[in-house]
Amino acid sequence: MPAIHLTDESFSKAVGGAKVAVIDFWAEWCGPCRSMLPIVEKISDEYEGKALIAKINVDDFPEIGAQYGVRNIPFFLFFKDGQVADKHVGTIKESDFKAKIDALM
């Protein structure tokens, strides 16, 4: 299942309703964001039913990014029980990405 695309309206409900959630803040024009797309989609498939993997386009929905202090992308926020538990700025290896999710489960 591909990563869910969130909006300002759906963000809180999605994050609040998931035990573990990872939000990928990205933009179409961002090369490093595009390079992360296959990893994000693969992890979304692997963690389906265990963790919410979602994306939010900072150009279309800047309010959430501003609320969480997103200044550079890609920017990943890791939530546990609706609270920010970890973050990562920039690209990340698949194994490190999975380790961060596993640590929250």
pTM equals: 0.94
Cα torsion 8, 99, 40, 36: sign = positive
Other Cβ atoms less than 10 A from the Cβ of 55: the count is 21
Q: What percent of the chain has pLDDT over 70?
A: 99
Residue 30 is a catalytic residue: yes
43: containing domain: 4-104
Structural domains of the chain, count? 1
Q: Is pLDDT of 20 > 70?
A: yes
pLDDT digits (tens, 9 = 90+) for 38-76: 999 999 999 999 999 999 999 999 999 999 999 999 999
* E strands, 1-105, in order: 4-5, 20-26, 52-57, 75-80, 83-89
Active-site residue (options: 4, 27, 30, 39):
30
pLDDT band of residue 8 (cuts 50, 70, 90) is: confident
Annotated catalytic residue: which of 33, 52, 53, 77? Answer: 33
Q: Catalytic residue at 78? A: no
Cα angle vertex 32, ends 100, 51, to 5°?
30
Instruction: State the CATH number of the domain containing residue 72.
Output: 3.40.30.10
Contact 25, 75 (CB under 8 A): yes
Q: How far apart are CA 11 and CA 72, in angstroms?
A: 19
Give the bridge partners for 76, in sequence order: 24, 88
